[in-house]
Amino acid sequence: MVLAYDGLCTFEFGCAVEVFGLPRPELGPGWYRFAVAGIEPGPLRAVGGVRVSADGGLDLLAGAGTVIVPGWRGIDAPVPAALCDALRSAHAGGARMVSLCSGAFVLAAAGLLDGRRATTHWRYAEALVARHPGLTFVPDVLYVDTGDVLTAAGSAAGLDLCLHLVRRDHGAAVANGIARRLVVPAHRQGGQAQYVEAPVPRERAAGSRLAPLLDRVRGALDEAWDVDRLAAEAALSPRALHRHFRAATGQSPGAWLAGARLARARDLLEATRMPIPDIAAACGFGTAATLRHHFRTRFGACPTAYRTGFGTTMAG
């Protein structure tokens, strides 16, 4: 269920339609049932001169499994009390709440972000925190998933969150297939758990003297990369290397390397039947035990459990 309103944010609405609203008969009868709920009588005007005719009103939320708020018409625009009531009721009935970009202000107005981690577009962060101190704002992420309430950052991050939902509901193969059709990454890389919180990578590929080094490391994660080797490859002293890494990625060299190895391990778990020990070796962890330790610390699950939930196949 996607909300529509007068002054609708066209791009965010389109993201939800593109991922969830298109018929996909090849995926069988378990695909999403899609509808648009207007929060006020229509036809509703969207940014760019588009007009939207909704399938019904707020009463449709009562039967929704997921409710998506595609941005909001302005962070200073009041959120109608009837909308807040309908969202709270739908959530209490078991619906999953999702906001894209400034849609977080709507969920916050309904009290659904109180006591939760949440994000929104960086331009709106201060306003969101000031008006709703009960939430914990998470900066520099693409989206935050707290289970039954999910929030995305800027407009394009809405696609990342929508694909994440597909991955949660239907597995990696389906999400990857939709991403290929959209010609976008199935998940953008970051330094933490992509399927929980997906940080925006801060590497400055253009103009960063580290960019070639980072590319070389990603292509040879099975090799030993200590600080001395990294510094030598970048023609920097170890101290300068740390400084440049912090500036470019927001992390230490060791933390960045661990994240890159875990990201590669996650990709192999999702897309291949490669045994866990082979994945550990390919990603530079050496042993399956070391991979399990780092994977559980970062993602809260062992590699086998992750593969069961997100992989295209089951494997040992």
Cβ-based neighbours of 292, under 8 Å, separated by 6 or more: 276, 302, 303
Reported as half-sphere exposure (CB side, CA atoms, 13 A), residue 244 has a value of: 20
Pair of tokens at residue 214? 């980072």
Encode 233-267: b = buried (16+ Cβ within 10 Å), e = exposed: ebebeeeebbebbeebbbbebeebbbbbbbbbbbb
Instruction: Tell me which residues are annotated as active site.
Output: 101
> What distances in angstroms separate CA 159 from CA 125, 147, 163, 224, one per listed residue?
20, 18, 6, 35
- Separation between Cα atoms, residue 285 and residue 268, nearest integer Å: 14
Which string of DSSP letters, residue by residue, matches 132-178? Answer: -TTSEE--SEEEEE-SSEEEE-STTHHHHHHHHHHHHHH-HHHHHHH
Reported as half-sphere exposure (CB side, CA atoms, 13 A), residue 33 has a value of: 8
Reported as half-sphere exposure (CB side, CA atoms, 13 A), residue 107 has a value of: 33
Pair of tokens at residue 207? 């103009």
Cβ-based neighbours of 191, under 8 Å, separated by 6 or more: 199, 201, 249, 250, 251, 255, 256, 259
State the burial class of residue 30 (Cβ atoms within 10 Å of its Cβ: 0-12, 13-18, 19+): exposed
